[in-house]
């Protein structure tokens, strides 16, 4: 499975979508998609790692902002458009960077995609048991953003340097945003 790695838009006709945020590259376009993915992957993920190490949640929410989010977003019953709007509000409030949208599945119009780190081994695993049929799909969670984020925050990848499993950078970001939202809910 190939997913986008930067704001470079992968043409929709190159992909076979399997959900609102995941798709497979069509066989005749795999080489082009892989080349696009490799170009932006390392630098994109380096910036995310820096933000995670230096506090990805940059600005704490004010009481007024928390109240606004609580009144305007039902975290247990949210549409895809509501989710995108929520992440947009967190960026507007200065809590997240615009670049974080890519990792939170909000980076592109049309076929929504998220980056894949091609500079490291791609073997990942999740210890979380999802209560839905297709846990990757936002639609499968029936609007439960907190449950979906909990699932996505559970992924680990094998770190050959330390010989141990570690949370993926994307999982760490989903975890931090989920913790922030959970405190509001």
Per-chain mean pLDDT for the chain? 78
pTM assigned to the model: 0.69
pLDDT score, position 177: 93
d(CA 149, CA 128): 11
pLDDT score, position 67: 95
Tell whether 3 is covered by a domain. Answer: no
Do residues 56 and 173 touch, judged by C-beta distance below 8 A? yes
pLDDT score, position 82: 94
pLDDT score, position 75: 94
Q: Has residue 122 got a pLDDT over 70?
A: no
Which comes out higher in pLDDT, residue 105 or 144? 144
Measuring CA to CA, which residue among 2, 6, 4 is closest to residue 40? 6
Do residues 169 and 162 touch, judged by C-beta distance below 8 A? no
Percent of the chain with pLDDT over 90: 26
pLDDT score, position 111: 40
Q: Which two tokens stand for residue 37?
A: 């993915």
Do residues 107 and 4 touch, judged by C-beta distance below 8 A? yes
Measuring CA to CA, which residue among 45, 37, 3 is closest to residue 21? 3
What is the per-residue pLDDT across 13-39, written as a single tens digit (0 to 9) for each?
A: 888 877 655 677 788 988 887 777 666
Tell whether 128 is covered by a domain. Answer: yes
Domain encompassing residue 55:
12-184
Tell whether 6 is covered by a domain. Answer: no
Tell whether 41 is covered by a domain. Answer: yes
Tell whether 37 is covered by a domain. Answer: yes
pLDDT score, position 112: 40
Number of domains in the chain: 1
Measuring CA to CA, which residue among 85, 113, 136, 100 is closest to residue 11? 113
d(CA 7, CA 56): 19
What is the per-residue pLDDT across 62-84, written as a single tens digit (0 to 9) for each?
A: 999 999 999 999 999 999 999 99
Tell whether 131 is covered by a domain. Answer: yes
Measured in degrees and rounded to the nearest 5, phi and psi for residue 44 equal -60, -45
pLDDT score, position 100: 86
Question: If phi over 0 gives left and psi between -120 and 50 gives alpha, with beta otherwise, what is residue 159?
Answer: beta
Q: Has residue 7 got a pLDDT over 50?
A: no
Which comes out higher in pLDDT, residue 158 or 90? 90
What angle (nearest 5°) sits at the alpha carbon of residue 160, between those of residues 154 and 166?
20
Tell whether 139 is covered by a domain. Answer: yes
């Amino acid at each position: 499975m190939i997913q986008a790695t930067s704001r470079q838009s992968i043409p929709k006709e190159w992909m076979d979508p399997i959900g609102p945020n995941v798709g497979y590259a069509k066989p005749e376009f795999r080489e082009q998609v892989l080349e696009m993915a490799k170009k932006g992957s390392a630098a994109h993920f380096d910036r995310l790692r820096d933000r995670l190490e230096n506090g990805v949640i940059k600005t704490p929410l004010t009481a007024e902002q928390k109240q606004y989010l609580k009144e305007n977003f039902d975290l247990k019953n949210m549409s895809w458009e509501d989710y995108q709007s929520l992440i947009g509000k967190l960026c507007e409030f200065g809590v997240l960077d615009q670049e974080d949208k890519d990792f939170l599945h909000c980076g592109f119009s049309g076929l929504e995609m998220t980056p894949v780190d091609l500079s490291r081994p791609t073997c990942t695993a999740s210890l979380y048991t999802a209560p839905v049929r297709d846990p990757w799909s936002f639609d499968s969670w029936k609007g439960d953003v907190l449950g979906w984020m909990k699932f996505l925050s559970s992924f680990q990848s094998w770190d050959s340097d330390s010989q141990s499993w570690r949370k993926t950078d994307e999982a760490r970001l989903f975890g931090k945003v989920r913790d922030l939202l959970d405190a509001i809910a």
